[in-house]
Amino acid sequence: MRIEELNWMDVEAYLQKDDRLILVVGACEQHGYLSLMTDIKIPVALADAASQRTGALVAPPLNFGVSPHFGTYPGTITLRLTTFLDTLEDMIRSVYRHGFRRLVFVNGHGGNDPARTRISEIIDGLPGLKVSWYSWWNAPRVTLVAEKHGLKSYHAAWIEAFPFVRVAEIPQGVKEPVLSKEILGAEGSRRLYGDGVFGGPYQMEDAILDEIFQTAVQDIVELLTVPAS
Amino acid sequence: MRIEELNWMDVEAYLQKDDRLILVVGACEQHGYLSLMTDIKIPVALADAASQRTGALVAPPLNFGVSPHFGTYPGTITLRLTTFLDTLEDMIRSVYRHGFRRLVFVNGHGGNDPARTRISEIIDGLPGLKVSWYSWWNAPRVTLVAEKHGLKSYHAAWIEAFPFVRVAEIPQGVKEPVLSKEILGAEGSRRLYGDGVFGGPYQMEDAILDEIFQTAVQDIVELLTVPAS
Amino acid sequence: MRIEELNWMDVEAYLQKDDRLILVVGACEQHGYLSLMTDIKIPVALADAASQRTGALVAPPLNFGVSPHFGTYPGTITLRLTTFLDTLEDMIRSVYRHGFRRLVFVNGHGGNDPARTRISEIIDGLPGLKVSWYSWWNAPRVTLVAEKHGLKSYHAAWIEAFPFVRVAEIPQGVKEPVLSKEILGAEGSRRLYGDGVFGGPYQMEDAILDEIFQTAVQDIVELLTVPAS
Amino acid sequence: MRIEELNWMDVEAYLQKDDRLILVVGACEQHGYLSLMTDIKIPVALADAASQRTGALVAPPLNFGVSPHFGTYPGTITLRLTTFLDTLEDMIRSVYRHGFRRLVFVNGHGGNDPARTRISEIIDGLPGLKVSWYSWWNAPRVTLVAEKHGLKSYHAAWIEAFPFVRVAEIPQGVKEPVLSKEILGAEGSRRLYGDGVFGGPYQMEDAILDEIFQTAVQDIVELLTVPAS
Amino acid sequence: MRIEELNWMDVEAYLQKDDRLILVVGACEQHGYLSLMTDIKIPVALADAASQRTGALVAPPLNFGVSPHFGTYPGTITLRLTTFLDTLEDMIRSVYRHGFRRLVFVNGHGGNDPARTRISEIIDGLPGLKVSWYSWWNAPRVTLVAEKHGLKSYHAAWIEAFPFVRVAEIPQGVKEPVLSKEILGAEGSRRLYGDGVFGGPYQMEDAILDEIFQTAVQDIVELLTVPAS
Amino acid sequence: MRIEELNWMDVEAYLQKDDRLILVVGACEQHGYLSLMTDIKIPVALADAASQRTGALVAPPLNFGVSPHFGTYPGTITLRLTTFLDTLEDMIRSVYRHGFRRLVFVNGHGGNDPARTRISEIIDGLPGLKVSWYSWWNAPRVTLVAEKHGLKSYHAAWIEAFPFVRVAEIPQGVKEPVLSKEILGAEGSRRLYGDGVFGGPYQMEDAILDEIFQTAVQDIVELLTVPAS
């Protein structure tokens, strides 16, 4: 169930019996051959699936994240880190005011992880609030699934190549992983990463992707079962 | 055509022949009996229609706007004005870097209008950039259509009650318009506005709504015909 | 009665029996042939007149406002929107601390209107505070007076050409109104607006200006009659 | 000559032959028995006098300064230090854009002195700009005049008690100077300073005040004679 | 060689022949039984050792980092994330201005890692600058050393218990690792972590610690061998 | 006693019987022939001496201060004023949370003095907190000692030339004091100040320096004897 399907009276009714909310964050940034909105489409799909199994409400996604290093790849729309942190804080304070108390962020983009710090800074001032942050692609159980199949996770590679984010032909084969010892800006990244994929197989069979997906959904479901304060 | 349907190579190709971008801003806020995402759903629909007629690309919507006065209506997720301004600036600088030069913001929410000021502040530093801002519900031609039918525009009332934002039964009849001489915060607004509708007929026949919609689309199409620098 | 004529003990005595304060905001910006301080001189005059009729105290004007689009007209001193918002917030918090509870902002400049949003954001945290914001030149009753005489209001044109802001010869005749579909920065504005007047008659007979003035004063007086909490 | 007496064409003409500007900053804050606007009225008077002798243009005063320690004295309207710094920066950038290159700030309030740091931070990025900052009450020559008469300068005491800032009876006699070893906030200041005067004689004969005044004017005149770059 | 042993002429001379600088960041925060300055003392020691082997200059450490989650443990002095980011940016811009072009941050504290994002944001605007960021305790080679000995790295446990940060008796034995699924503020952290150690052996034999230390030094030395632009 | 010699349990124990803390601020900036860390080394030495006589705890120094005007002297690492103010505020709020209530800042650098304003702004919101700020080189008693020997205090000259900050040969003789009527940025300062010393004797006999040092220590000791609230 998504907020967009409800009016405020519906949310008020929901809050009479539940105080959980799934918030979706990600990025609009280059993902090689995949959709520029890959980092939103995946966590939205995960959130919807977890919502269906738990009845927890899903907030509209914040469609932009922190992607300074991809700023020269056309279509990347990036927020400064401070803008992103302020946005997250505003979202949290908004829903706390209504009575939401158990928040699960489903995050599709590594660049957003510093938000955990801002949440830690403000949470003591919001009594009763519990917040968890789930970055799906490197969650421990997801990593175990990947390792079971002898795979590692790289940006814009197989682990993100779900059917619903494919917008073009994807190369066959495997890209030699690219690594930087320096911190890269947008210009350095484009020179280094070329097509934007960080390495590994470009795609993977659906069964493995589905196993990854279901594992992540299960993780989120468990985060949503945290007891109310 | 939306950015989400493309990868970065597609956007790079688009920029070889076009430099227009439609950006959608609105709010996730109470709209009486209508969807909490009314202010996003309408401009997205307008943007898609204008895109279809012009070939201009559409960016993902910023799903949250400036709604401090509705902060006590459950489901309203509001950004501080400064957060919103910073977000808009980041979006503009991101796409300017790629080569977009003609931007049309389709705005679904009055509280976002101060963004015009920030755009004015930064535009001299971005040579060749042209930005227009279209707040559809009170655009001159849209207002003429409403007046032709003896109607005025109020928040969450008939003019926003498009079929695609209805999520519940909508009352029949007309609400006496509610006005405040003071600047209201979230608490004062809720006391004053009750169900959240500012006044006028709760709904309207589809033919009039369609006329409104087509008029707004036509406006946006014309804004998109501004010549390149 | 102005704060400048009082010392702090006088204000303390005033607060024993009244909690109203008139605050004046405007701009130091190009006004065509009129004084660069037109947007301050007019609201100061209105505030003084309203003070005389009500006994409400008048604060010193904030002499600078938000005028990014006029930044290339010599003599325009503009604040960034964020600076202006912070200043307004500081002013409000200062006088709230002393016990002022009914504030009327008399505003001379359209670019300042986003301040309404900041006020809405902070007002729930200031119990008992009532704030109204009066932008005189497009107030409903003032607009009715203009319409009665077949006139429309434009920047730096007849409606601002009070005798006390004239510092040079003003042209006879009428300027074709100038409109922009784009958001203009300082450079675009200067190219478009030339002498800085937006259109309409350059001046008007004193009787009509006086009717405008008295109407605005009456509006402010009524805003000052809001009952204390 | 003040900006308020000019329109933008006049300032443009002025800039053809001169690039000096006097800017006035001060405070709206408790001054014991004197006007709450003492810290503006004095530098405005000094600026006008220096303008008359040099032909340099005078900008409208910023009527509010940094007075956190007087926040509980009614009528004190204080800006946060950061707000004040941003305001000064905006003022400087505004007039620099027009071509002003020699700026003299005439400052009436000690709490504003940190602005010197912000000016130092931005000045390398504004080629050709020269800025001086004149805090009149403790300028070396003014201090010499006071010392010649066996006097020391204290807030709200004799040295500020010019006839044009007197709004009430001023006590006879001398107040024992009050000093704090701690940094005081608004509450501590009010407890310590009582009537708001820091010490010394409450008033002084006009001849000495006039000598002080003329000395300060002479200082400002000399700062205005700095050669153009 | 440390900046504190030099005057500005010495640094000017150094820059004639080298453009490398080691910057040290960490935290002043609870480390269980170890010194509150553990996260500074270790990277300072690493930096000094790497300096000795390479001749690269070492800047004074920033003694405070981002530790909101330890705010209730006495002695923890924490910066907001935004303060820390601004500080890092200021440090980088300062030394860039002098001609330093190859910077290696030796970081002692995980909470500081978001600084990488700010560096990525600004680096395109600083041509020729190369920055690397070394968080010693979880660097790949250091992790391999730990794994070789069957050890994992935990906050305030064996891996940080170098002789030079011991200020009290350290417990024998092993603490059951403590993990949180939620994001913790300062209050939640103290409840959960008790003595402040996250788990694992409280101390370790010197030979293993020395191997860890030398491995980290070697890593830094290699980062310092990046060629100049 | 320094925080670095303690763990958090030690500080908790200290707070059972004392609530005083000495905080050290200064700068990493050019000091002519002296160490770039002169403004830290001196207040650290003063703080340690005062700690020894009073038992008050000493926090780690903030190694960077506000030195925009020395930005072109190699080795100067300067914070923007706002960064510095935020850092000070974070430090104060951190230690207030633990129970420290009597803070003495020992400051080695004049550019940091605006911090007094920020402290004044926040102190009313921190009940029971007492903060004093000691800028040693121009403290009244220190000035008296200098005057007794016919000396004046100048940046990087004799008064700072303690043996423990000497890193090179120091010139004999006396430099003609250099003064600026304008506010200088980094470029103007370097042109004006040359070797970075502002004037006066380059060095002084140890006995006088020791008298200066002991006088400052005595001042700090007295500030530390302020009674608890």
Determine whether the interchain pair D183/F116 forms a contact, defined as Cβ–Cβ distance below 8 Å.
yes
Task: Kindly tell me if the per-residue pLDDT of D159 is higher than 90.
Answer: yes
DSSP state of A86: H
Which chain A residue lies closest to E223 (C-alpha atoms)?
A: A181
The predicted structure's pLDDT at residue B225: 93
pLDDT of residue F202: 97
Chain C CB contacts of B121 under 8 Å are 68, 80-81, 185
With contact defined as beta carbons under 8 Å apart, do D229 and D101 qualify? Answer: yes
| Helix, strand, coil share of chain A (percent; to 5) | 45, 15, 40
Confidence (pLDDT) at D226: 81
| pLDDT score of A226 | 81
What integer pLDDT is reported at residue D228 of this predicted model?
78
Interface contact C110, partner B, CB < 8 A:
no
Q: Please report the residues numbered 5 through 44 in chain E whose beta carbons come closer than 8 angstroms to any beta carbon of chain A.
A: none
Reading the block at residue C81, the tokens are: 């929107």
Q: How far is F3 from chain D, CA to nearest CA, in Å? A: 24
Mean pLDDT of all residues in F119-143: 97
pLDDT band at C226 (very low <50, low <70, confident <90, very high): confident
Does A78 contact chain B (CB < 8 Å)?
A: yes
The answer to whether the beta carbons of residues B5 and A35 sit under 8 Å apart is yes
B37 vs A3, A41, A196: nearest CB: A3
> Of the candidates D36, D59, D83, which has its C-beta nearest C3's C-beta?
D36
* Residue D162 parent element (H or E): none
Nearest CA in chain D to C88: D79
Encode chain C in three state secondary structure.
CEHHHCCHHHHHHHHHHCCEEEEEECCECCECCECCCHHHHHHHHHHHHHHHHHCCEECCCECCECCHHHCCCCCCEECCHHHHHHHHHHHHHHHHHHCCCEEEEEECCHHHCCHHHHHHHHHCCCCCCEEEEEEHHHCHHHHHHHHHCCCCCCCCCHHHCCHHHECCCCCCCEECCCCCCCCCCHHHHHHHHCCCCCCEECCCCHHHHHHHHHHHHHHHHHHCCCCCC
- Chain A positions in Cβ-Cβ contact with residue E85 (cut-off 8 Å): 81-82
Q: Which chain E residues are closer than 8 Å to A23 by Cβ?
A: none
Q: Can you give the pLDDT of all 229 residues of chain A as single tens digits?
A: 999 999 999 999 999 999 999 999 999 999 999 999 999 999 999 999 999 999 999 999 999 999 999 999 999 999 999 999 999 999 999 999 999 999 999 999 999 999 999 999 999 999 999 999 999 999 999 999 999 999 999 999 999 999 999 999 999 999 999 989 999 999 999 999 999 999 999 999 999 999 999 999 999 999 999 887 7
Tokens in use for D147?
């010392």
pLDDT at E161: 97
Residue C227: its pLDDT value, please? 84
pLDDT digit of tens for each residue in chain B (229 aa)?
Answer: 999 999 999 999 999 999 999 999 999 999 999 999 999 999 999 999 999 999 999 999 999 999 999 999 999 999 999 999 999 999 999 999 999 999 999 999 999 999 999 999 999 999 999 999 999 999 999 999 999 999 999 999 999 999 999 999 999 999 999 989 999 999 999 999 999 999 999 999 999 999 999 999 999 999 999 887 7
Pick from D156, D157, D104, D163: nearest CA to D135 = D104
- In this prediction, residue C46 has a pLDDT band, given cuts at 50, 70 and 90, of very high
Interface touch F30/E7, C-beta < 8 Å: yes
Report the gap between the CA of B32 and the closest CA in chain C (Å).
Answer: 20
**Using an 8 Å Cβ cutoff, are B199 and B175 in contact?**
yes
Q: Do B114 and C114 touch (CB under 8 A)?
A: yes
Long-range CB contacts for residues C149-152, cutoff 8 Å, separation at least 24: C149/C208, C151/C200, C151/C201, C151/C204, C151/C208, C152/C177, C152/C200
- Checking ipTM against 0.85, whether it exceeds it is yes
For F210, the token pair is 């020791």
| b/e burial code for range D11-21 (CB count within 10 A of at least 16 → b) | bbebbeebbbb
Q: A123 vs E81: CB contact, 8 Å cut-off?
A: no
Q: pLDDT tens digits, residue range E161-213? A: 999 999 999 999 999 999 899 999 999 999 999 999 999 999 999 999 999 99
Q: pLDDT tens across E7-62, in order?
A: 999 999 999 999 999 999 999 999 999 999 999 999 999 999 999 999 999 999 99
pLDDT at E81 over 90: yes
Closest Cβ–Cβ partner in D11, D79, D83 for C75: D11
User: How does residue F226 score in pLDDT terms, banded at 50, 70 and 90?
Assistant: confident
Q: What is the pLDDT of residue B156?
A: 96
CB contact set of D212 (below 8 Å; sequence gap of 6+) = D142, D145, D146, D159
B181 vs C contacts (CB less than 8 Å): 132, 223, 226
Give A116-158 pLDDT, tens digit per residue: 999 999 999 999 999 999 999 999 999 999 999 999 999 999 9
Q: Does B186 touch chain C (CB under 8 A)?
A: yes
**Mean pLDDT, chain E, whole residue set:** 97
Residue position matching structure tokens 């309409």: C200
3-class secondary structure, D187? helix
Provide the residue type at F225 as one letter. T
Write down the mean pLDDT value for chain C: 97
pLDDT of residue A211: 98
Residue D201 backbone phi and psi in degrees, to 5: -65, 140
